[in-house]
Amino acid sequence: MTQELAPTSLGLGTVIYKVPDIVHAKAWYAQAFAQQPYFDQPFYVGFSIGGFELGLHPDLSEGQPGPGGSVAYWRVLSIEAAVEHFVLVGATLVTAPTDVGDGIRMARVADPFGNVIGLIENPHFTTEGSR
């Protein structure tokens, strides 16, 4: 596999926390990190912190807040190539590649031990990890 297709070649990109009350969580995280979100919608709030994204997600149908309630998303150049690679080496598809808006595509796979690995293709990130 060439380096440009390596699924984690762009590094860690996003960590998403599940929150039951996105309005309260947005206010708390804005105060905790002393900044406002760069993306603010009822379905997702995103903060850009030090070249990484901290996301707040209110949909609790795929996980709950608390220990084990977050997923780290690894930046990839091609979501399809990354999913194909992970499945080829033994991962199980959890969530197929999905367009979440603004050119951002995400998928989730599970490793052979049950850990969920998030994959994100985000054209707004540079290869250095800054916005």
> In this structure, are residues 40 and 26 in contact, taking their beta carbons and an 8 Å threshold?
yes
Do the domain assignments include residue 129? Answer: no
Give pLDDT tens digits for 48-90.
Answer: 988 889 899 998 887 888 777 788 898 999 999 999 999 998 9
Do the domain assignments include residue 88? Answer: yes
pTM (predicted TM-score): 0.73
Q: Quote the pLDDT of residue 131.
A: 45
For range 10-24, the mean pLDDT: 88
pLDDT at residue 125 greater than cutoff 90: no
Give pLDDT tens digits for 86-114.
Answer: 999 899 999 999 999 889 999 999 888 78
Specify the number of domains making up the chain. Answer: 1
Do the domain assignments include residue 113? Answer: yes
Q: What CA–CA distance (Å, rounded) separates 92 from 111?
A: 7
CATH number of 73's domain? 3.10.180.10
CA distances from 20 to 13, 23, 26, 53, 93 (A): 23, 9, 11, 19, 26
Do the domain assignments include residue 128? Answer: no
Do the domain assignments include residue 72? Answer: yes
Neighbours of 118 (CB within 10 A): 22
DSSP string, 45-70: EEEEETTEEEEEE--GGG--SSTT-E
Do the domain assignments include residue 126? Answer: no
Q: What CA–CA distance (Å, rounded) separates 114 from 4?
A: 27
> In this structure, are residues 46 and 38 in contact, taking their beta carbons and an 8 Å threshold?
yes
Do the domain assignments include residue 85? Answer: yes
Do the domain assignments include residue 127? Answer: no
The domain containing residue 11 runs over which residues? 3-121
